[in-house]
Amino acid sequence: MRLRVALPTCVLAVLALMVPALPALASMPTVLVFSKTTGWRHESIPTAVAAVQRVAMQESLYSNATEDASVFTAENLRGYRAVIFVNTTGDVLDAAQQQALHDFIENGGGFMGVHSAADTEYDWPWYGQLVGAWFRSHPPGLQTTRVLFEQAGIAEHGREWTVTDEIYNYRTNPRAQVQVLATVTEADYEGGTMGADHPISWCHAQGKGRAWYTGLGHEARLYEDATFLRQLARGLRYVSSRADEC
């Protein structure tokens, strides 16, 4: 009898040590990382998704990653603090899924777009407002430019950062509708079409929700760059309502 009692007691003792960790994880705010493509597909997507998830965890945000658009329902999105479009392209949501995302953001959810999130849902005007500006073109190959940040604390030194990536030109300059966070210097490279004011990252309110976007993120190597990761972290804090400054 003593042997039968002692063994379950040991098991229960081990379980008692494990259980307290579970509620802590369950109580973490959750973000949805979405990377579906119906157009151009970036080879960097797996690296980008993994990096965004690592940054989210560092910011005490749990994350789910998927390319299954069926998760976009009102019921499912209620479980998330923000949705992150990572290098999505083309028409990725049907009408019902679009409505679910619309209602989620307008009622207080967050949206974060990375790189070709601006090359997505061209036939949906509301999405154009959400992302801030649609992709128009990019110079051939990779280009090197100085990025000028509006805020301190992102670049290693000061507010200037040199980066090599695919530099997007946009159909419109979003400055009048958004808070621009960073610009690129077209004088540094060939193929820019936006002139002296070329925003590359911005944020804005959307209804009761928040939106943040960076046009960088084509190259997989960029997701190992400390400055870029700090930029992503700042965006995550903003769209998850963990910071008021974007």
Residues 47-91 have pLDDT tens digits of: 999 999 999 999 999 999 999 999 999 999 999 999 999 999 999
Q: Is the pLDDT of residue 190 over 90?
A: yes
SS3 238: helix
What homologous superfamily is domain 29-239 in, according to CATH?
A: Class I glutamine amidotransferase (GATase) domain (3.40.50.880)
| pLDDT score for 42 | 98
Picking from 34, 26, 8, the residue whose alpha carbon sits closest to that of residue 88 is: 34
The amino acid at 128: G
Q: What are the residues facing 206 on neighbouring strands?
A: 209
Q: Is the pLDDT of residue 133 over 70?
A: yes
Over range 159-173, report the average pLDDT: 98
Over range 165-186, report the average pLDDT: 98
In the chain, which ranges are continuous DSSP H helix? Answer: 2-18, 21-26, 45-58, 74-77, 95-106, 125-131, 226-239
| pLDDT score for 67 | 98
54 CB-near residues (< 8 Å, 6+ apart): none
Q: Is the pLDDT of residue 10 over 70?
A: no
For residues 109 and 83, the answer to whether their CB atoms sit within 8 Å is: yes
Q: Is the pLDDT of residue 104 over 90?
A: yes
Rounded to the nearest integer, the mean pLDDT of the chain is 91
Lowest-confidence pick of 12-26, 61-75, 93-107: 12-26
Between CA 187 and CA 213 the distance in angstroms is 23
Token pair listed for 42: 């970036």
120 CB-near residues (< 8 Å, 6+ apart): 85, 88, 89, 90, 91, 92, 127, 131
pLDDT digit string (tens) for 214-245? 999 999 999 999 999 999 999 999 999 999 99
Over range 171-188, report the average pLDDT: 98
Within 10 angstroms of residue 91's Cβ, the number of other Cβ atoms is 16
Confidence of residue 27 (pLDDT cuts 50, 70, 90): low
pLDDT above 70 covers a percentage of the chain that reads: 89
Picking from 128, 111, 68, the residue whose alpha carbon sits closest to that of residue 92 is: 68
Alpha-carbon torsion, ordered 49, 75, 110, 118, to 10 deg: 60
Q: Is the pLDDT of residue 180 over 70?
A: yes
Within 10 angstroms of residue 152's Cβ, the number of other Cβ atoms is 8
pLDDT digit string (tens) for 120-131? 999 999 999 999
Over range 148-171, report the average pLDDT: 96
Q: Which helix (H) or strand (E) holds 179?
A: strand 179-184
pLDDT digit string (tens) for 199-213? 999 999 999 999 999
| pLDDT score for 17 | 34
